[in-house]
């Protein structure tokens, strides 16, 4: 069974951040949605999003 796809709000709740933070991460290229609905809404896999954020954090630490 494929992992459930989450909305931005659901992902924000799971990660303990605001929905606006998710939108900023997407706009900055930190998070890449699994897919966009025909209406243009983002959908995410929780584990993929967590991995993307870990990678971003690791890259940021290495730079600074």
Q: What contacts 6, CB < 8 A, 6 or more positions away?
A: 14, 43, 44, 45, 46, 49
Per-residue pLDDT at 1 exceeds 90: no
pLDDT tens digits for range 34-58: 999 999 999 999 999 999 999 999 9
Note whether 35 and 25 are within 8 A (CB).
no
Helices 8-15 and 46-63, packing angle to 10 deg: 60
CATH of the domain at 25: 1.10.1660.10
Domain residues for 19? 5-63
User: How many domains does the structure of the chain reveal?
Assistant: 1
C-alpha gyration radius of the chain: 12
Note whether 46 and 6 are within 8 A (CB).
yes
pTM for this model (two decimals): 0.89
């Amino acid at each position: 069974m494929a992992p459930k796809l989450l909305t931005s709000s659901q992902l924000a709740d799971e990660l303990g951040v605001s929905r606006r933070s998710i939108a900023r991460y997407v706009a900055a290229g930190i998070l890449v949605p699994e897919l966009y609905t025909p209406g243009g809404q983002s959908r995410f896999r929780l584990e993929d999003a967590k991995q993307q954020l870990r990678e971003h954090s690791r890259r940021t630490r290495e730079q600074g």
